[in-house]
Amino acid sequence: MRDVQINLGNRSYSIFIGQGVLDAAGTLLTGLPTGRKALLVTNPTVARLYADRVTAALTRAGIDVVRALIPDGEQYKALQSAEMLYDRAFAAGLDRGCPVVALGGGVVGDLAGFVAATYMRGVPFVQIPTTLLAQVDSSVGGKVAVNHPRGKNIIGAFYQPVLVLSDTGTLRTLGAGEVRSGLAEVIKYGIIKDAAFFTWLENNLDHVLALEPAALAHVIEQSCLSKARVVEEDETEQGQRAILNLGHTVGHAIEALAGYGRYSHGEAVAIGTAVAARLAVDLGLLQENEEHRIRNLLARAGLPLEVPGDISTDAVMAAMYGDKKTRAGQITFILPAAIGRAVIRPGMAEEPIARAIDNCRA
């Protein structure tokens, strides 16, 4: 079992990573000053696979488990679901010391975290992420949220967990698409923060794709460390934390324009990363051979690199800059300056971005 320590003053916590850490949930939780009753938030898909094991582990440690299921799907990351969970927590008599435990992917984690942050002005929050994306990204950094008809994640808070348990064994039941989607963020960490990790991925990707426990544990550990280092410097995204958005500006535009569901988030981010790398080469920031290494690794992970033919460059630009009339003509762009280092470029003009998008087509 590996232990990654996140240092945020009195909001510091540990991420435990390894095969079977799920079964240690009770022992690890009772080491913390939390109540003896827990709200276990999950969905039917994940509950069927893992809720009994987590419940047994908590029960063995003397914790009463109140299980609450939310239907599976991004659309349930909503205030109505939060309200349902508050009702459940009140009905079960949960007080301010009782933890909310999130068991599932990023949807369950973000929603349960939002409830933990707001129920009685905040109760202890425990994350048991079960997707690769959740283990390497959404469970680290303390952003919790629900969606609103006006936008994704726009009702939320910064709220750190007291404990995160990432069990590599849970990734075996994920679909290949879910694994790929998480890998886009993993590769991102190598590009923005850690050249040695990028090289390790080049040498070990096959072991990762085969879901070998040791390779997965390394990937999760290094990803958490990278994200944690960025977050520790800038917890509430005043500056440097923006480098985590590499590939996301164009990626979000493509994800939305293609219609949510056609590209997974990770696939859209991969395309956005390819565009950012091209732009960085065009601007003389990145060497061409490093762009090739980035493209190769993404491709080997099964991720797309090309802006689809049915989405025009104009449409992508409009999605990024907003309406033509109100465009300030400037956005902040994250660019790789080398493998292992990203820069934040505020005030990027439209023209070079449009050219890079054109150059990332089949």
Nearest to 79 by CA among 150, 152, 147, 154: 147
Q: How far is the CB of 179 from ligand NAD (least distance, A)?
A: 10
Cα 108 from Cα 128, distance rounded (Å): 10
72 binds ligand NAD (CB under 6 A): yes
Which alpha helices (DSSP H) does 125-259 contain, by range? 132-133, 176-193, 195-209, 213-233, 248-257
Among the listed residues 16, 21, 58, 137, the single contact to ligand NAD using CB under 6 A: 137
Taking the complex as a whole, the smallest distance from the CB of residue 210 to ligand NAD amounts, in Å, to 17
One character per residue 33-52, x = contact with ligand NAD (rule: CB under 6 A): ----------x-xx--x---
Q: How far is the CB of 320 from ligand NAD (least distance, A)?
A: 18
Nearer to ligand NAD, 143 or 218 (CB): 143
CB nearer to ligand NAD: give 227 or 295. 227
Rounded Cα gap, residues 258 and 311, in angstroms: 7
Q: Is 19 in the site for ligand NAD (CB under 6 A)?
A: no
- CA dist 307 and 273 (Å) reads 11
Which position among 141, 190, 247, 272 is part of the footprint of ligand NAD (CB under 6 A)? 141
Angle between helices 79-91 and 106-118 (to 10 degrees): 60
Distances (CA, A) of 33 to 65, 92, 161, 261, 300: 17, 20, 13, 41, 45
User: Exposure of 326 by Cβ count < 10 A (0-12 exposed, 13-18 middle, 19+ buried)?
Assistant: exposed
Nearest to 138 by CA among 181, 79, 93: 181
Q: Which helix (H) or strand (E) holds 157?
A: strand 151-158
Determine which residue in the list 21, 58, 162, 174 makes contact with ligand NAD, applying CB under 6 A: 174
Mask for 97-116, x = binds ligand NAD (CB under 6 A): -------xxxxx-x------
Of 25 and 46, the one with the shorter C-beta distance to ligand NAD is: 46
Axis crossing angle, helix 248-257 with helix 265-282, rounded to the nearest 10: 130
- Beta carbon of residue 111, minimum distance to ligand NAD (angstroms, whole number): 8
**Residue 326 CB, nearest distance to ligand NAD (Å)?**
26
Tell the smallest beta-carbon distance from residue 127 to ligand NAD (Å): 10
* Cα 151 to chain centroid, rounded: 18
Tokens of 248: 């996301």
Question: What are the catalytic residues?
Answer: 121, 143, 185, 227, 237, 241, 245, 248, 252, 265
The residue range among 70-78, 210-218, 278-286, 294-302 that interacts with ligand NAD, by the rule CB under 6 A, is 70-78
Considering beta carbons, is residue 110 or 290 the nearer one to ligand NAD? 110
DSSP letter (8 states) at residue 276 = H
Answer whether 348's CB lies under 8 Å from 332's CB: yes
335 binds ligand NAD, rule: CB under 6 A: no
Using CB under 6 A, count the residues that bind ligand NAD: 28
Mapping DSSP to helix (H, G, I), strand (E, B) and coil, where does residue 44 land?
Answer: helix
For ligand NAD, the binding residues (CB under 6 A) are: 43, 45-46, 49, 72, 74, 77, 104-108, 110, 130-131, 133-134, 137-138, 141, 143, 152-153, 170, 173-174, 178, 181
